Amino acid sequence: DNTYAIALENADKALESKEPLGPAKARNKAVEIAQGEVFVFLDADTILSENFVENAVKAIQINSNVVGTCKAIPDPKTFSTILYYGFNDIMHMLKIYKGFVDGVIFCSKDLFLKVGGFDPEKKVGEFKDFMQRAKKFNVKYQYLGNCWATTSARRVVEKGLFGAVWFWVWWKLTSSFKKKDKF
């Protein structure tokens, strides 16, 4: 899909792989060459608000033991996608559910290394898995309500509202009982 060429046009560095890595392995590989102290991980189909990085850095400067996300805006905006993402945002804002993120998380380099990075066996749910493992280090969860990320709502569009909810419920149930998820 020409991702590498697009990345080269818009970044100081880009990684090219001869084989598909999957999101978890690709993110871990990027960390190997990253030079910053704050890491922001986002899906390829996610666009951040202009104030996101500044606010993520501020949150980590206050407490380096932070992992967080921000408000999600679905693309496309339909009744189903707005309902689905709106519910997720309320859950994050109230800190009821920490981990089912939509397209972006941030943390310090030190925390990322302590947690051990993303599980390279994960094909889906790597953000949730990372945040769950980070809990062992008494992290503070941070929801940046004044920032947003526009992210693909393709699962809701493809599967419908109830199909998308069932997909994540099924993933949570099956991954809770297995070391390796089969997705």
Reference 142, options 68, 89, 88; nearest CA is 68
CB 53 within 8 A of CB 70: no
What is the predicted pLDDT for the residue at 99?
Answer: 63
**The residue type at 60:** I
Of 41, 13, 12, the closest CA to residue 28 belongs to 41
Q: What is the pLDDT of residues 58-102, one digit of tens each?
A: 999 999 999 999 999 999 999 999 999 998 888 888 877 666 677
C-alpha to C-alpha distance for 17 and 151, rounded to whole angstroms: 24
> Residue 121's closest CA among 3, 21, 48?
21
pLDDT of residue 128: 84
| Tokens 């109830």 -> residue | 162
CA distances from 170 to 89, 128, 133, 174, 183 (A): 21, 14, 20, 6, 10
What pLDDT does 100 receive? 62
Which three-class secondary structure state does DSSP give residue 111? helix
Low-confidence ranges of the chain (pLDDT < 70): 97-100, 176-183
Q: Identify the pLDDT of residue 182.
A: 46
* pLDDT given for residue 1 in this prediction: 72
